[in-house]
């Protein structure tokens, strides 16, 4: 039986926390897309305006969520092969990219 060191346990827990954070980032993009799509359904708003609003906000967040999901899956694959440092880098990249993008949207 192999003995795990304290460092390995800390890296493993860090990966788990980052996985939860990445899942939250990915789901927020999907929820935002569906929320935008369903809130704009009204007979008073012309379809052209709905498509413009949807393509500006909802579509961009959905695309970012898909990119985050691909990077997350790559990190999850590395995590499953016990490449913890590379997995932490990819998991952190998703969260940093999300916060950077949210910061740019608020400007």
Q: Per-domain residue ranges for the chain?
A: 29-101
Give the pLDDT confidence of 14-41 residue by residue, as tens digits. 999 999 999 998 888 888 777 777 777 7
> Collapsing DSSP states into helix, strand and coil, what is residue 21?
helix
Whole-structure pTM value: 0.76
Distance of CA 13 to the CA centre of its chain: 19
Rounded Cα–Cα distance for residues 39 and 33 (Å): 10
> What pLDDT band is residue 2 in, cutting at 50, 70 and 90?
low
What kind and span of H or E run contains 67? Answer: helix 59-80
């Amino acid at each position: 039986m192999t003995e795990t060191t304290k460092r390995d346990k800390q890296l493993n827990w860090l990966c788990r926390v980052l996985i939860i954070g990445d899942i939250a980032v990915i789901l927020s993009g999907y929820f935002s897309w569906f929320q935008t799509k369903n809130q704009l359904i009204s007979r008073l708003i012309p379809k052209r305006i709905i498509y413009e609003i949807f393509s500006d906000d909802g579509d961009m967040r959905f695309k970012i969520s898909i990119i985050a999901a691909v990077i997350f899956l790559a990190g999850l694959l590395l995590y499953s092969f016990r490449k913890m440092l590379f997995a932490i880098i990819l998991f952190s990249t998703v969260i940093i990219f999300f916060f950077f993008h949210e910061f740019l949207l608020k400007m």
